[in-house]
Amino acid sequence: MTAASGQHRHILALDTAGGRIAACIISDGECYFHQSGGESAGATRSTTIIPALQGLLEQACLSWRQLDVLALGAGPGSFTGLRVAAATLAGVNAALQLPLIQLSSLAITARQADSSEQIRVLEDARAGELFYGCYRQGEAVQADCCMRWSQVEKYRSESDHPGLFCALNEPPIALEGWRRVALSMPRSQALAIAALAACGKVKAWGRLPHYPSPNYLQPSQAERGAHHG
């Protein structure tokens, strides 16, 4: 891996869309990864995220003030995970005012599969829906979206024999004609690769936001209730 050029040498990246903490720091070409251990979905609280990030800073021998860029796995994914991660980085960046890069959490999952072929990310969104992404070597073939599980079959094209997919969680239905690709790369490592790739594409750093906007792709349960109330 190579770090972002110029003044953007120290990057901190965070993703909790899958319900667990994935985090890394890239500092002058060296990568430092958070070891997730046996954390459960409940571990994605600010009380656990901040110590995890502080531990990474200590590994990299950096202070918060020495960071140049923040990157966030902005979703789609767990509502709780996305909200807590976004709020944590928003709090951190209230004082730092660093440029913030938003990454697709489905793109991070696709990189975990480490496949050179086109691959779909089919992640259960509950309520009969899934988050759908299509990637080839880390690049989006189409925009992430949310759809019904009953619609997914049409997305297995004839050129994919069988259709390749990956996911963090177990799909709630049998996917006949699809082949699941194992996630062979640790999520924090895939996050680092995605963050570096995104940094390499930035043309105007001054136009990047300082505060995250989670990409939920579907309304929360409370919003659904209000809509049907």
Q: In terms of residue numbers, what domain contains 123?
A: 106-180
**Helices first, then strands: H and E counts in the chain:** 5, 10
Q: Is residue 119 in some structural domain?
A: yes
Check if the beta carbon of residue 164 is closer than 8 Å to that of residue 179.
yes
175 and 81 in one domain? Answer: no
Sign for the CA dihedral angle at 107, 108, 114, 120 comes to negative
Residue 45 has pLDDT above 80, yes or no: no
Residue 150 Rama label (left phi>0; alpha psi -120 to 50; beta): alpha
Report the SS3 class of residue 68.
coil
Phi, psi at 167, each rounded to 5°? -165, 150
Phi, psi at 184, each rounded to 5°? -90, -15
64 and 97 in one domain? Answer: yes
Q: From CA 195, how far away is CA 38, in angstroms rounded?
A: 24
The pLDDT tens digits of the residues spanning 126-143 come to 999 999 999 998 899 999
The pLDDT tens digits of the residues spanning 165-193 come to 999 999 999 888 899 999 999 999 999 99
Q: Is residue 1 in some structural domain?
A: no
**pLDDT on residue 220:** 54
155 and 100 in one domain? Answer: no
209 and 99 in one domain? Answer: yes
We report the CATH number of the domain holding residue 122 as 3.30.420.200
**pLDDT on residue 37:** 60
Q: What is the pTM of this model?
A: 0.89
